[in-house]
Amino acid sequence: MQVILQTGFAEQTINKSRFIAMAVQCTTEREVGAALRAFATQHQNAHHLAYAFRIKTEQGIVQRFSDAGEPSGTAGMPVLKLVEGRDLINTCVAVIRYYGGINLGTGGLARAYGGTAKLALDAAKVGDFVEMQTVTLTIQYNQMDALTRALGKCNGSILNKTFNEQVDLEVTLPKHEVVNFLNRFN
C-alpha cells in the first residue's frame, strides 16, 4: 500500500469548465471532512466538489465517494478507481468544477474528473504505507534521550509525556518495531 506524503494539486480547463484537484493524506473521516471544507472554502464559487477517499481503520478499509450532483458515477467513482488502482490508503482526492456552460456528457465528465484527479496524484509525493501503533510505557529519566533517539530512527514520535517520579509516555511507532522497542525500554 502507498500513502501520500506531500499534497498534490492540479488544474486544467476542458471545454470552458475549470477543474481543480487536490490529493491529500487523511487518516480519519474527520480529517477528510476538514480537508474538503478547507478546499471548498478556497473555491466558494465552484459548482461541484466531487471526491473519493480510502482510509484504513481498525474495522478495515473505509472508502466512499461523492458525485456532487453530477450524473451518477461520472465524478467521484472515476476518482475512487484511481485511488484504488494505485493502492493508496489514508488518501482523499477532491476535484472542484467551475461549470463553463458546455455539457461534457457522461464520458466527458468521467474523463475530466478522473484526468484532473490523476494529475493531482501525479503531483503528490507518495511513499510506502507503514502501519503505526500507539503504546504507553514508563521509563526512568535517564532513559529519555535514548528513547527519543530510538523513536527518531524508526520514524516514531512522542504523543504525550507526564513527568512524575518516572516518565509516563504515549508514543507512536511502526507496528513492526513495537516488540523490540518495548523489550528495550520496558
Q: Are 123 and 140 part of one and the same domain?
A: no
Q: What is the pLDDT of residue 182?
A: 85
How many separate domains does the chain show?
Answer: 2
Q: Are 139 and 92 part of one and the same domain?
A: no
The span from the CA of 67 to the CA of 61, in Å, is: 20
The pTM assigned to this predicted structure is: 0.77
Residue where a domain terminates, one of 107, 128, 149: 128
Q: Are 35 and 65 part of one and the same domain?
A: yes
| Residue 164, CA distances (Å) to 142, 143, 148, 161, 184 in order | 13, 14, 18, 10, 21
Q: Are 117 and 65 part of one and the same domain?
A: yes
Q: Are 57 and 146 part of one and the same domain?
A: no
Please give the single-letter amino acid code of residue 169.
Answer: L
> Is 95 buried (19+), middle (13-18) or exposed (0-12) by CB count in 10 A?
buried
- Per run of 10 residues, the mean pLDDT along the chain (length 186 residues) is 94 95 94 95 93 92 93 94 95 95 91 96 92 88 90 87 90 88 82
Q: What is the pLDDT of residue 185?
A: 80
Which residues pair with residue 133 across a beta bridge?
173
The set of cell numbers assigned to 118 is 490523476
| Residue 78, CA distances (Å) to 21, 143, 146, 154, 180 in order | 13, 51, 48, 36, 42
Q: Are 84 and 173 part of one and the same domain?
A: no
CATH value at residue 177: 3.30.70
Residue where a domain terminates, one of 88, 103, 128: 128
Residue where a domain terminates, one of 79, 101, 128: 128
Q: Are 81 and 114 part of one and the same domain?
A: yes
Q: What is the pLDDT of residue 19?
A: 96
Q: Are 170 and 116 part of one and the same domain?
A: no
CATH value at residue 93: 3.30.230.30
Q: Are 15 and 103 part of one and the same domain?
A: yes
Q: Are 74 and 33 part of one and the same domain?
A: yes
Q: Are 124 and 140 part of one and the same domain?
A: no
Q: What is the pLDDT of residue 64?
A: 95
What domain range is 27 assigned to? 2-128
Q: What is the pLDDT of residue 35?
A: 96
Which residues pair with residue 64 across a beta bridge?
53
Phi, psi of 74 (to 5 degrees): -100, -10
Q: Are 56 and 147 part of one and the same domain?
A: no
Long-range (24+ apart) CB contacts under 8 A made by 174-181 are 174/130, 174/131, 174/132, 174/133, 175/130, 175/131, 175/132, 175/133, 178/133, 178/135, 181/135, 181/150, 181/154, 181/156
Largest CA distance in the chain: 70
